[in-house]
Structure 1
Amino acid sequence: MKWLKEIWGWVGSFAIAFVFAVLIGIFVFQPYKVDGHSMDPTLHDRERVYVSKLPHTFSYVPNYGDIVIIDSRVDRDRTFKDDFMGNPLFLLITGKTDDQVFYVKRLIGKPGDTIEIKSHQVYRNGQLLDEPYIKEAMNAPDGKWTVPAKHIFVMGDNRNNSRDSREIGFIPLDHLMGKKIL
């Protein structure tokens, strides 16, 4: 009988630790892996980044120029189930992957901003952005976007090899998973 109590104590401890780890992964802190070259030269393919989930948890917008993680499925609403299923512990246990839906990008525009590309350069609200982090001159057609309320505009640092707001559209704030901290 004593050994049964011992086993039950261990099971309870592991269960509490598991719940605690899942909650931290959903609401506070989560690792992500860079997949591709859209953030070269700042971040490289297969590099691991650690992300503060607080912008997602408390629905606030990080600063201009911050590196953020987004859910690229902007054509659908996110639910708590998405947050739970995207938790690294859940993915590890089930053997599932994130299906490459999470993108690492740089925050360029906040709600109400006007983003314009002209002569291969990016302007925010009429001001040319100083972007020492981009890989090379951008070969993109001119365009102009006004960021709607509760959305952001993101771009990769490797502008010629990046699937970002120019292609997938504005990112709803609930699709902003967090910002890079390490």
Structure 2
Amino acid sequence: MSAGPHAGGRRLSRDASGLRHLRWAREVLATLEAHVEHNPALADADREALRGEARALGAAVQALSGAVKPYRDFLERTRVRYRGRVRVAEHLVRGSDAGGADEAARARLEEALAELAAMEEAQRRPLKEALSAEIDRLREAMARMDARLAERLSAELVESLYPPLTDDASRVADDGDPDDDAAASPR
């Protein structure tokens, strides 16, 4: 098991995807809730403080989820159609180059690339900006949560909230599920 995200300042990389931030935050939320339900060493006031933090983090997780879903849907539905069209146009250009330059194929490629660029600007950029803002809000909320909890609970308990990360801190390490893209051993 990893030393945790706070040992040496180790946290999920800000460059990690929204989906990976969502997984990370859900892991922390689940641990907060597990402390409330299963940690007999907690005083009632500490248990109540953790409940409050869980409610606040739960709201931040929901907000992030609300930004992740439209972005993922866009990537997996809309963007792939445009990328597929570009690949077909590239294929047609390569085929025409073998038998002589085909200006129509080159024009189709230019058109497909232009439509991809326009779609990226019109659709992807606003979704990505909204997602990035929610990631920042989540990270700020978690930092504030850590500071509040550190005032009343041990550093070890605060550190216990965070799951181990992969060596590059890009995702939660999860050797228990080989189908999970986070299946990797922590450092």
Higher RCO by CA contacts (8 Å cutoff, separation 6 or greater): 2
- Please, what TM-score do these two structures have when normalized by structure 2? 0.24
- Please, what TM-score do these two structures have when normalized by structure 1? 0.25
Q: Kindly indicate which of the two structures has a greater share of residues assigned to helix.
A: 2
Q: Kindly indicate which of the two structures has a greater share of residues assigned to strand.
A: 1
